[in-house]
Structure 1
Amino acid sequence: MNRSKGIFLVITGAVFWGIGGTVAKKLFQHYEIDIDWLVTTRLLIAGLLLLTVQFFGKDRSQILGVWKTRRIAIHLIIFGLLGMLAVQYTYMASIKHGNAAVATLLQYLAPVMIIVYLIFRKQTVLTRRDLLTVSLALFGCYFLLTNGSISQLSVPTLAIVWGVLSGIALAFYTLYAVPLLKQYHSLVIVGWAMIIGGLALSFIHPPWQMDFTSLTLEAYLYLVFVIIFGTMIAFWFYIESLQSLPPKESSLLGSIEPLAAVLTTVFWLKEPFGLFQWVGTACIIGMILLLALYKESSSRTLHPPKSDEPLNVS
């Protein structure tokens, strides 16, 4: 029963993550929602909801306890600004200028970036499996972004730039979060990081500065889905799945996220997707599956479980 529950939770969370990015594209495309406003609102509301879940769960003292040590507080603020906010904003910007499929797949290059970083830092050694992983990522990106044509890109340049920056931000987010997550529950760390990022962006675009009367009922439903289902519930379900499944299995099942993003982008938003882009998508999903299967079998490379990611927080 617990295993079945865990499988249901992780698959549902991953699908929500993937669809959430596509719904955000719909808001940008058809309702001209400002990206700064959406990221601000999404972070603040989802962060408050995550802390609320922790408050009614176990060890609510951690919610304020995380601020009692100056070093940890500074670490958390940096994580909120350069980790959480950077990941969320770059991901949404890539969606705005391109689509959710490309943005999600580019963000999933983060594990490869982590491998390369750790190799250069001499904290790990290069293996044939790493070479295969990096090769799949490079070939996948090439086909995804060019559709097999060297002369022109099939994806807007800005979407690529923001997508690559999203992958870099996710790599930083994943590595920088490790010390915090060893001491405090992930709901507390991620909840506060979201609130910190949302408050910082509020100085650029306050959440109340929005013409709410111009939005239709459909637009409000899309907003609720992105904030509640695509952010808060997706993350919460993933964390809950780790109570019943090992991280390796949860990560493997979580790779449904980019597949959900691609399918909804192509079949719901009717975005064009060429044959070679499907090949590129298969390469990157293959890379994700390879990394997910490998996570628990070796301790030589740092791969925190996806509960430490935003990908889902995207």
Structure 2
Amino acid sequence: MTKEENLKDNYLRKKGFIFAISASTLWGVSGIAAQFLFQEGGFSPEWLVVVRLLIAGSFLLAITQVKTKKNIFRVFKNKHDAFSFIIFGFGGMLAVQYTYFVTIKYSNAATATILQYLSPVIITLYLILHLKKWPSIYEFLAIILALIGTFFIITKGDIKAINISKMTLFWGIISAVAAAFNTLQPRRILAKWGSNLVAGWGMIIGGILMSFIHNPFDFSGKVSLMSVSSVVIVIIIGTLIPFWLYMESIKIIKPTEASILGAFEPLSAAILSLVFLGIHFSILEWVGSIFIILTTIILSTTKK
């Protein structure tokens, strides 16, 4: 590899890392807004999922149509591609969000987040079996640090904060598998069609399928300036932008790396709680934050 190629490769990796971290951070912002809607506004998680997918997907496809002036429906001309989009919309976009909310229903947000964050481990095991090659010691170390860091931030080190029943464990594992699928499955169509079309159609398909579970017009909740603002935050800042960023990141960096960097989601939520809600960090939360930051340093200093 020449010096110019090496510089370009390093630039792309940094770009991929920034995109993945930014996506996770914005999902953390979305989590705070969604929590307000559920607890203070009386909104339904099912309604929020279906509306955020349909509206965010429509926005992204409309922007793509105007920007490229190409027919956005051309992705369905190839049967193999069309099938891949449908599978991604159902098994990726919809499943990763719905199973997470169902896990919360049977336990709590802390337990659901920890279980879903088993996805880097699932991705690593899949790649070991699929590629028949073990990850580097640095990747293993990054996964361990990210898992411990996430646990410390969410539970403050208190094992009692985790509530695992049979239903919780079932839906939590499904949630982790869905998150892994959301990272691994769309890589082929991403390379062919780009992140705008993949993310946009994934949201629309997921939203349409979710409509059979919950009618988007079946609304209940308190309408106020704060609740409307929170819905806009969830749709634009918490769905439209981060899903596009994440799709871009997995075109550039490894699936394991993008998934590990998802640890910035609970970290950003914790920091926002510290800034806006005045909730102070415990020693273990600070340790967890340092561990998550260390994962980025470890991954960014290793070769592709």
* TM-score category, normalised to shorter length: 0.7 to 0.9
Partner of 1:203: 212
Structure 2, unaligned runs of 5 or more: 1-10
Distance 1:280 1:69 in 2: 46
1:60-85 deviation line (CA, Å, top 9, x unaligned): 23x11111111211121111111111
Aligned AA (1:222) = S
Aligned AA (2:211) = S
Cα distance, 1:232 vs. partner? 1.3
Partner of 2:148: 139
Cα distance, 1:153 vs. partner? 2.3
Distance 1:87 1:288 in 2: 24
1:41-190 aligned within 5 A? 41-58=51-68, 60-61=70-71, 63-93=72-102, 98-99=108-109, 107-140=116-149, 143-144=152-153, 147-149=156-158, 152-157=159-164, 161=169, 165-190=174-199
Moved more, 37-46 or 180-189: 180-189
1:10-37 deviation line (CA, Å, top 9, x unaligned): 5876543321111111111111211111
**Which residue among 29, 32, 42 is the counterpart of 1:22?**
32
Distance 1:288 1:224 in 2: 30
Name the structure with the higher helix share.
2
Alignment: residue pair count: 283
Cα distance, 1:118 vs. partner? 1.3
**Which residue among 238, 252, 275 is the counterpart of 1:230?**
238
Cα distance, 1:186 vs. partner? 1.2
- Corresponding residue SS for 2:231: helix
1:4-23 aligned within 5 A? 15-23=25-33
| Percent of pairs with identical residues | 39
**Which residue among 274, 288, 291 is the counterpart of 1:283?**
291
Q: What RMSD, in angstroms, separates the aligned Cα atoms of the two structures?
A: 3.8
Aligned AA (2:53) = L
Equivalent residues of 2:112, 2:172 under 8 A apart: yes
Distance 2:136 2:152 in 1: 25
Structure 1, unaligned runs of 5 or more: 299-314
Moved more, 192-201 or 154-163: 154-163
- Corresponding residue SS for 2:226: helix
Is it true that 1:36 corresponds to 2:43 in the alignment?
no
